């Protein structure tokens, strides 16, 4: 019997077929993703307003963007939202994962409940939380009925606080997801390490803090990337919950871009803001992908 792992001879067709079959996907993403990035980049250097006008104006649109208060409100909102959303989702998710890892009865059911919001559209989440947080009939009325008559909750209509309602709803939607990722990570850790540490007299919280959580660094990192990605893309939830308002107090870059490009007839500004989003994402993603791909090919 011949034992061979050597690939059989490629025929002419076999050599070219894979390239041919991959070509449509390659072309689609080359033209409709990379080509469009270039096109959008070009637009951001033109005087385009309601319609595209391919008249070169240099960095004019970027200068306008950086002088625009609304843009900076959007950027700072994303910053506030990102830090709180990522930070709290992580804490809640990791905490719940550790608790669920203690040989809990009905674990399957509990996990299912924690994770279901992730199956919902952000529009559904936004619509639901808009009703629950609305001043008047929502949470405020509930507290009044329960006897806390001085309770007020007007964040949804308060320009200083509106972005935090988005944080509340986003944490509800995504913290269960963090829990699922960490629980999977915890299950991958060798039990014998924990047993050995217990024999050495370490307490459970100490074991988690000193041994298990440090071993979860890769999970921590990839969860961080996903949450950051969700945060930067966040558009739907803001639109459904606050509509970017009151005024533009809860705008984020994604809603800003949409408003400029599609409702305000400021295509140049819209494309410039989209480029800024792309640059910020790339600053994080490119080194990350580079290291991942290198690790993968090793």
Partner 1 sequence: MANNNKWARILVYAVLIYAVIYYLLPLYVMITTSVKTTEEIRTGNLLSLPMHITLDAWRKAWGTACTGVQCTGLSLYFWNSVRMVFPAVIISTTMGAINGYILSKWKFYGSEIVFAMLMYGLYIPFQVLLLPMAQTEGYLGIAGTTPGLIFVHVVCGIASTTLFFRNYYVGIPDELINAARLDGAGFWRIFFRVVLPMSLPIVMVTFIWQFTQIWNDFLFGLVFSSGDSQPITVGLNNMANTSTSVKEYNVDMAGAIIAALPTIFVYVVAGKYFVRGLAAGAVKG
- Tell me how crowded residue 245 is: count the other CB atoms within 10 A of its CB: 15
Question: Closest separation between CB of residue 261 and partner 1, Å?
Answer: 6
In Å, how far are 85, 150, 228 from 78, measured between CA atoms? 10, 32, 10
Question: Closest separation between CB of residue 166 and partner 1, Å?
Answer: 14
Question: Closest separation between CB of residue 280 and partner 1, Å?
Answer: 9
183 burial via Cβ count (<10 Å: 0-12, 13-18, 19+): buried
* 56: phi then psi, degrees, rounded to nearest 5: -65, 125
Question: Closest separation between CB of residue 293 and partner 1, Å?
Answer: 6
In Å, how far are 11, 130, 162 from 8, measured between CA atoms? 9, 62, 64
In Å, how far are 124, 131, 202, 253 from 128, measured between CA atoms? 6, 5, 45, 23
Cis peptide before 246 (omega within 30 of 0): yes
Q: Toward partner 1, which CB reaches closer, 128 or 202?
A: 128
Question: Closest separation between CB of residue 243 and partner 1, Å?
Answer: 7
Give residue for tokens 């059911």.
109
Please answer whether residues 251 and 74 qualify as being in contact, where contact means their C-beta atoms are separated by less than 8 angstroms: yes
Q: Toward partner 1, which CB reaches closer, 164 or 235?
A: 235
Question: Closest separation between CB of residue 175 and partner 1, Å?
Answer: 9
Q: Toward partner 1, which CB reaches closer, 73 or 261?
A: 261
Q: Toward partner 1, which CB reaches closer, 73 or 240?
A: 240
Q: Toward partner 1, which CB reaches closer, 125 or 249?
A: 125
């Amino acid at each position: 019997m011949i034992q061979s792992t050597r690939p059989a001879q490629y025929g002419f067709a076999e050599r070219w077929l894979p390239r041919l079959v991959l070509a449509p996907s390659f072309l689609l993403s080359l033209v409709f993703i990379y080509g469009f990035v270039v096109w959008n980049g070009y637009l951001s250097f033109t005087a385009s307003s309601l319609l595209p006008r391919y008249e070169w104006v240099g960095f004019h649109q970027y200068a306008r963007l950086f002088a625009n208060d609304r843009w900076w409100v959007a950027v700072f909102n994303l910053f506030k939202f990102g830090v709180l959303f990522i930070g709290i989702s992580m804490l809640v998710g990791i905490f719940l994962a550790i608790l669920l890892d203690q040989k809990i009865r009905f674990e399957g059911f509990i996990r299912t409940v924690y994770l279901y919001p992730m199956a919902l559209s952000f529009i559904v989440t936004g619509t639901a939380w808009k009703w629950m947080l609305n001043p008047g009939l929502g949470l405020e009325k509930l507290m009044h009925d329960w006897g806390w008559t001085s309770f007020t909750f007007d964040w949804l209509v308060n320009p200083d606080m509106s972005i935090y309602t988005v944080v509340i709803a986003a944490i509800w939607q995504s913290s269960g997801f963090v829990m699922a990722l960490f629980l999977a990570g915890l299950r991958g850790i060798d039990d014998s390490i924990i047993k050995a540490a217990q024999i050495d007299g370490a307490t459970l919280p100490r074991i988690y803090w000193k041994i298990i959580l440090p071993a979860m660094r890769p999970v921590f990192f990839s969860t961080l990337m996903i949450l950051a990605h969700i945060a930067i893309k966040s558009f739907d939830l803001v639109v459904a919950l606050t509509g970017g308002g009151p005024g533009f107090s809860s705008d984020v870059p994604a809603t800003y871009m949409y408003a400029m490009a599609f409702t305000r007839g400021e295509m140049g500004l819209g494309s410039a803001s989209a480029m800024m989003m792309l640059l910020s994402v790339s600053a994080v993603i490119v080194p990350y992908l580079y290291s991942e791909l290198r690790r993968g090919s090793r």
